[in-house]
């Protein structure tokens, strides 16, 4: 059977099996967590926290999202081999597994979840804490596992085979570099805390993405449905649009519907503009799936809003901030639901949910702002101290984002 990238010789049985404690897996995450908690408490500083945030975001974006998931597992875009290796190597730094083991485990879950039923381990079917114990500390031994195989280009790749054998040891190069620059505190925050947050977060998002959250599509006859965890779209770099992923697993773009933020896709689009990525697969490139049932009227691949120049955006921001005019904020309310926008924008601005609109817009006095600058100005006009203060930080970042968007759109 061939399904997307999955090839298996024997269907096997994905329902009967035993969950067993895995010493290596359990001791790995336990050691990282204890080191992070104790060492983090003893060595806390704002610079160390900044290091943790930057290093973890870098590894998750370029390693897990672009390298491991969208390239190695789904092969949803093409790039030079040196870049592929660099991205997958960064994915190993997440601390989940080696590249071959990670792909085989992912393929097994994908295959199992498309069957009429599968073992609770494979569909996050236990209560939260029990599932956490299973996923972080145990392994599933199926009585008759399906014989999954990897493409020869992956299975016989010497670099990937080397990483598979040594993936835990691959934490040493960045650890040594961080120790040289900042001693043990940098190692604790840059390596141990990053692995703890990434591995635990991977499980936690996986749990909610298979149990709770809105859905655009249903895969009929599947053992479990994917759900979108929309409030986590930024911290997961777009990976939390899991219902979209279940519906279009081969798509390099996961934020498919209006308002769904997908930093992984933004980065891919930037790399494509730079000539480093090509042949990107999107939802409309995939063959139709008769088992996919659309559940709502959300507009797939809605047209993008026109891109304004930075000069025009600045003029509109100043004009809207200075004029006491009635403002209306329209948004697809995907990543930020309507209630969250009301809390941010206050009662002075009317909120309009527009599911078919790709990006939020702020309108008033004949001026229209698009994207995050619209949200920042709405927050400034809210007359709420906290929201207005946050807007002063958000606005320059939003303007910088729009400048990059205008340059590479």
* Co-location of 86 and 229 in the same domain: yes
Q: Which of 294, 325, 349 is the last residue of a domain?
A: 294
Domain boundary among 259, 294, 329: 294
Which of 72, 77, 4, 78 lies closest to 249, judged by CA?
4
By residue count, the chain amounts to 409
What residues are paired with 278 via a beta bridge?
78
Is 270 found in the same domain as 143? yes
Residue 323's pLDDT is 62
How far, rounded to the nearest angstrom, does the alpha carbon of residue 240 sit from its chain's CA centroid? Answer: 5
Give the contacts of 132 (CB within 8 A, at least 6 positions apart). 203, 204, 207
Residue 50 · residue 152 · CB < 8 Å: no
- Same domain for 29 and 105, yes or no, is yes
Provide the H-helix boundaries in 286-384. Answer: 310-322, 338-345, 372-380
C-beta separation of 32 from 95 below 8 A: yes
Alpha carbon distance 84, 66 (integer Å): 9
Asked whether residue 138 falls in the same domain as residue 60, the answer is: yes
Helix (H) or strand (E) holding 277: none
Q: Domain for residue 301, yes or no?
A: no
Domain range for 237: 2-294
- Judge if 100 and 191 occupy the same domain: yes
Within 8 A by CB and 6+ apart from 322, the residues are: none
pLDDT in the model for residue 329: 78
Q: pLDDT tens digits for the chain (409 residues)?
A: 344 555 544 667 899 999 999 999 999 999 999 999 999 999 999 999 999 999 999 999 999 999 999 999 999 999 999 999 999 999 999 999 999 999 999 999 999 999 999 999 999 999 999 999 999 999 999 999 998 889 999 999 999 999 999 999 999 999 999 999 999 999 999 999 999 999 999 999 999 999 999 999 999 999 999 999 988 988 999 999 999 999 999 999 999 888 888 999 999 999 999 999 999 999 989 998 899 988 876 666 655 555 566 666 777 777 766 666 677 877 776 777 777 888 887 777 788 777 767 778 878 777 777 877 888 878 877 777 787 788 778 878 877 777 766 665 5
Q: Are residues 206 and 325 in the same domain?
A: no
Instruction: Tell me which of 263, 294, 325 is where a domain ends.
Output: 294
Same domain, 270 and 324: no
- Number of C-alpha atoms within 13 angstroms, CB side, residue 56? 25
Q: Are residues 332 and 273 in the same domain?
A: no
Map residue 243 onto helix, strand or coil. Answer: helix
Residue 177: its pLDDT value, please? 96
Residues 90 and 229 placed together within one structural domain of the fold: yes
Domain count, the chain: 2
DSSP state letters, 158-191: HHHHHHHHHTTGGGHHHHHHHHHHHHHHHHIIII
pLDDT number for residue 7: 52
316 C-beta neighbours (distance < 10 Å), count: 21
Q: DSSP assignment, residue 382?
A: T
Question: Is 18 domain-assigned?
Answer: yes
Q: How much is the pLDDT for 346?
A: 75
Q: Beta-carbon neighbour count of residue 4 at 10 Å?
A: 17
Token representation of residue 163: 């990483």
User: What token pair was written down for 312?
Assistant: 């025009």
Decide if 305 is inside a domain. no
79, 154: one domain = yes
Considering the domain architecture, whether residues 319 and 267 belong to the same structural domain is answered as: no
Do 42 and 174 belong to one domain? yes
């Amino acid at each position: 059977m061939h399904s997307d990238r999955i090839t298996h010789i024997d269907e096997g049985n994905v329902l009967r099996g035993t969950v067993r404690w895995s010493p290596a897996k359990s001791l790995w995450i336990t050691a990282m967590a204890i080191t992070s908690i104790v060492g983090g408490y003893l060595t806390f500083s704002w610079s160390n926290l900044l290091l943790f945030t930057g290093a973890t975001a870098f590894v998750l974006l370029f390693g897990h999202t672009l390298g491991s998931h969208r390239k190695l597992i789904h092969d949803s875009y093409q790039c030079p081999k040196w870049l592929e290796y660099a991205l997958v190597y960064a994915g190993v730094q997440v601390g989940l597994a080696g590249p071959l083991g990670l792909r085989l485990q992912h393929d097994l879950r994908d295959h199992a979840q498309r069957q009429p039923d599968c073992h609770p381990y494979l569909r996050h079917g236990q209560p939260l804490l029990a599932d956490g114990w299973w996923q972080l500390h145990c392994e599933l031994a199926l009585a008759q596992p399906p014989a999954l195989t990897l493409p020869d280009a992956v299975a016989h790749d010497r670099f990937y085979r080397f990483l598979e054998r040594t993936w835990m040891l691959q934490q040493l190069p960045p650890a040594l570099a961080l120790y040289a620059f900042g001693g043990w505190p940098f190692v604790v925050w840059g390596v141990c805390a990053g692995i703890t947050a990434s591995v635990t977060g991977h499980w936690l998002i996986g749990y909610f993405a298979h149990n709770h959250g809105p859905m655009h599509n249903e895969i009929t006859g599947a053992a479990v449905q994917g759900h979108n965890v929309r409030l986590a779209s930024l911290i997961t770099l777009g990976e939390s649009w899991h219902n979209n992923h279940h519906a279009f697993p081969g798509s390099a773009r996961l934020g498919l519907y209006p308002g769904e933020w997908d930093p992984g896709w933004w980065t891919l689009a930037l790399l494509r503009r730079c000539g480093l990525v090509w042949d990107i697969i999107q939802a409309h490139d995939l063959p139709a799936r008769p088992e996919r049932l659309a559940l709502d009227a959300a507009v797939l691949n809605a047209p993008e809003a026109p891109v304004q120049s930075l000069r025009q955006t600045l003029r509109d921001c100043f004009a809207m901030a200075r004029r006491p005019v009635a403002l209306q904020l329209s948004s697809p309310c995907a990543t930020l639901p309507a209630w969250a926008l009301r809390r941010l924008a206050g009662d002075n601005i009317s909120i309009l949910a527009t599911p078919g609109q790709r990006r939020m817009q702020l309108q008033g006095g004949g001026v229209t702002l698009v994207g995050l600058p619209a949200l920042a100005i709405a927050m400034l006009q809210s007359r709420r101290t906290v929201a207005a203060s946050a807007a002063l930080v958000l606005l320059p970042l939003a303007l910088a984002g729009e400048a990059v968007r205008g340059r590479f759109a």
